[in-house]
Amino acid sequence: MDDAVRAAMAKWPNVPACYGWLALDQRGDWRLTGDAVRHRGLIEFLNRNYDHDAAGNWYCQNGPQRVFVDLACTPWVLRLVSPNRLETHTGLGLEKLRAAFLDRSGRLLLEFQAGTSEANATNETQIGLVSDQDLPAMLDRVVDTQGAVPTESDLLAIVNGESRPLVLRWEELRLPLIPIDAASLGQRYGFEPNPSPA
């Protein structure tokens, strides 16, 4: 978090929070009242000041005001920044992948441990949506237990909630590709997709 933001919070501790203005879309882009934020400086500011409260509500601290974020899917959107490196939309590197999921919309989600940051001070397990721009490259890493490329029907079976013996290869890891209901993610991983005033 920026030092100027901390100073503003100390100076004006009782500024009402803001809801419904800021959102994180499925590509990891910030949206302000529905419009994509394009200003590089503002994007970097939002990325640096992104955090969550104890109830799992994610927000950006804008000076003394907490601006809560509506999440299109998960608190993190993951991008493939090089062939063997994934980062969150805020630029935080992933320390360890723990599980891989495919939901009914064909979205790839990864359970991971991130590098230490204020938003992840305890290195707790997180969930992130792989950006659709990187989905083809990530699905190229999916194989069956014999190392063969899966059929389209195998992938569709997982999308439809059926288990198939497919794994996502990532470095030395072989993570089973598990079907998941995206509606359960908030409860399972302790986040609120659409924060609202108490």
pTM above 0.85, yes or no: yes
- In the numeric block, the tokens 């509506």 are attached to 70
Q: What is the pLDDT of residue 64?
A: 84
Any bridge partners for residue 167, and if so which?
Answer: 143, 176
CATH fourth-level superfamily of 3-71: duf1285 like domain (3.10.540.10)
Split the chain (198 residues) into runs of 10 and give each run's mean pLDDT: 61 75 97 96 96 96 92 97 94 92 96 69 82 96 92 91 92 94 95 94
| Domain locations in the chain as residue ranges | 3-71, 76-189
Indicate the pairing of strand 85-88 with strand 35-36: unpaired
Q: Report CA-CA distances (Å) from 113 to 12, 13, 28, 37, 106.
A: 34, 32, 18, 27, 23
For the stretch 25-60, what's the b/e string if a residue is b when 16 or more beta carbons lie within 10 angstroms of its beta carbon?
bbebbbbeeeeeeeeeeebebbbbbbbbeeeebbbb
